[in-house]
Amino acid sequence: MNEFNSRARLWDSNPVHWERSEAIAKYILEMVPIKPEMRALEFGAGTGILGFLLSYSFSEITLMDNSEEMVKIMQEKVQNARQEHITPILFDLEHYDYQTKKFDFICSQMVLHHISDIQKMFGQFYKTLDPGGYLAIADLYSENGSFHGKGFNGHNGFDVIKLQQELEKAGFTHIATKQCYIIKKEIEGALMDFPVFIMVAAKPAT
């Protein structure tokens, strides 16, 4: 079972999820030359907080997740908001090619550290973008494993220099990185800071 299915219904009740998404949305709007006719994809959209914040900047936005419960919540939100240009879909882009359409912009937040093969994922993003499109990734800087604790099988954040090199190997250019948020989390009785970066890259137009 997808580990996020059990967390879906309570996800939006955590104020950090909203604060983080608002900060990331702000930096995306500053760093990416968005045009109203662009089509967007949020990969690993969860309950769609970031996607909804960005939705008014695009002609259409697809909210993609591989958790059935997260997608159900997004569908409920779309129905309640009556936003026909927002489309939640259940799909696993990590393991399968998405051939329905291509996009001008792809974003993700706090998803990449759960992906086992980063280079393959960047290849998927590259294939799913139209030429001249943009990718924006928000995730943790390298940390000592405290954020998720024992038993976590993903990445303990990222060295942004190495991550940029992986993006360049996949064909991306014009890469820029900024710190966009700090998650404060209590670890064994102590409040710790976990900085979050946003990295924006472009797929060449030709």
Number of domains in the chain: 1
pLDDT at residue number 189: 84
* Cβ–Cβ under 8 Å, residues 38 and 105: yes
Angle between helices 118-128 and 160-170 (to 10 degrees): 50
* Cβ–Cβ under 8 Å, residues 155 and 147: no
Residues with Cβ within 8 Å of 70's Cβ and at least 6 positions away in sequence, in order, are 4, 5, 8, 11, 45, 46, 47
pLDDT at residue number 102: 97
Task: State the pTM of this model.
Answer: 0.93
Range of the domain at 76: 5-202
Order of strands, sheet of 103-109, starting from the edge strand that comes earlier in the sequence = 86-90, 60-65, 39-43, 103-109, 129-140, 190-202, 173-187
* Cβ–Cβ under 8 Å, residues 135 and 200: yes
* Helix residue ranges, H only, the chain: 15-31, 49-54, 68-81, 118-128, 160-170
* Per-position pLDDT tens, the chain of length 206: 455 565 667 778 898 999 999 999 999 999 999 999 999 999 999 999 999 999 999 999 999 999 999 999 999 999 998 888 999 999 999 999 999 999 999 999 999 999 999 999 999 999 999 999 999 999 999 999 999 988 888 999 999 999 999 999 999 999 999 999 999 998 888 899 999 999 999 999 98
Tell me whether residue 72 is exposed, middle or buried, using C-beta atoms within 10 angstroms of its C-beta: 0 to 12, 13 to 18, 19 or more: middle
Tell me the CATH number at 172.
Answer: 3.40.50.150
CB atoms within 10 A of CB 57: 17
Which residue's entry shows tokens 């983080």?
20
* Cβ–Cβ under 8 Å, residues 37 and 206: no
